[in-house]
Amino acid sequence: MRSPRAIADALAAHRGGIERFVRQLDRDKVPYLSYSKIAAVESCPYRYYLEYVAGVRPRPEPAYFAKGRTLHKAADHLYRKAARGLSIGHEALFFLANKHRGEDRRHLQNAIQVLVEQAWTGYEVLGVEEPFVLPLVLRKDGIIAIVDHKTGKRFNKLDTMQMAVYRQHVLRKHRAKECSAWFDQYRWVDDLGRIRKPAFQRTQVHLRSTSWTAALRRFNSGYQRILRIEEKQDGSATGSCHSCALKGVCDKAVIEYGSWW
C-alpha cells in the first residue's frame, strides 16, 4: 500500500499551510482519512461522492469558504510572529482582506481586529496549522492547549470529535500529560460598534477519557461507508441539502420552498 509512504513524502516536503498539503494529497490520489471526509459522508453519502470521488467543486465558490480561509491565514500570520517573539497589529493584517469586496471585506476586517484583541498571550506557540493538526497549539506552565478557529454568521454547535482527534495527536507528539481544547468562534458582523450579540465566543471543549474511543468508532464506521461509495462510484442522497455547499451543482439536490399559511 503506497499511502503511508506517499503521505510521509508529502509531509517531509511540506512548507506550511494545511490546505496546500491536502490539495497535494488529492492531486496525487493518495488515500487518507480526515475529519472533513467523515463529516461529509455522515451528512450525505452523495455529497462525499461528488466532493471526494468525482472532484466536484461548488461554482461559484461560497463566500464563506473564502472568508474562512482568509481568517485562518490571519491567525497563521499572527501566531507565527508570536512564535518568534514578535507582535503585529490588526491593521497590518488587513491586507489579507483587501482581495474581498464590500460586506465581505468589512466582515473580515472586523474579525481580524477581534482575532488580534482576543489573541492567546503568555503562551509558547508550539505549532500553527500543522499537517493533520489544523489548530493552534500552545503551551503554558507545562500544560498544552489546542485552539481551533471557526467562522460563520452565527455561533454554531461544534463537533467535539474533531477536537478528540487533535488532542490525541498532540498528546502523542508532545508527550504531554494534560491538554485542554478550545473553540474560538468569530461571527461575521458589519460594525463592531453597533452589535447586540457578541462577535466572538471562546468555548472550552470538555473531552472525556472515552472521547478518543468514540472518535475511532465514528472513523471506522465512516470508512466502511466510504469504501462502499468508492466501490459503487455512487452514493445515496439524504436530502439534507439546505446547508450543503454543493447543492447548486448536485443533480440529486432537493429544492425546498418556504410557504406562508
- The C-alpha cell at 75 is 491567525
Q: Which amino acid is at 115?
A: L
C-alpha to C-alpha distance for 127 and 143, rounded to whole angstroms: 14
Please report, for residues 21, 86, 132, 172, the alpha-carbon distance to residue 8 in angstroms, rounded to integers and kept in the order given: 11, 32, 12, 17
How high is the pLDDT of residue 230?
A: 94
Tens-place pLDDT, residues 75-129: 999 999 999 999 999 999 999 999 999 999 999 999 999 999 999 999 999 988 6
- pLDDT the model gives residue 94: 97
Q: What is the pLDDT along the chain (261 residues), one digit of tens a residue?
A: 355 666 666 666 666 556 667 777 777 777 888 888 999 999 999 999 999 999 898 888 889 999 999 999 999 999 999 999 999 999 999 999 999 999 999 999 999 999 999 999 999 999 886 655 457 999 998 889 999 999 999 998 888 998 999 899 888 888 888 899 999 999 999 999 999 999 999 999 999 989 999 999 999 999 999 999 999 999 999 988 888 889 889 999 886 544 333
Cell numbers describing residue 47:
455529497
CA dist., res. 80 & res. 198, Å (int): 27
- Alpha-carbon span 153 to 64, nearest angstrom: 9
Whole-angstrom distance, CA of residue 63 vs CA of residue 71: 12
- pLDDT of amino acid 260: 35
d(CA 181, CA 206): 7
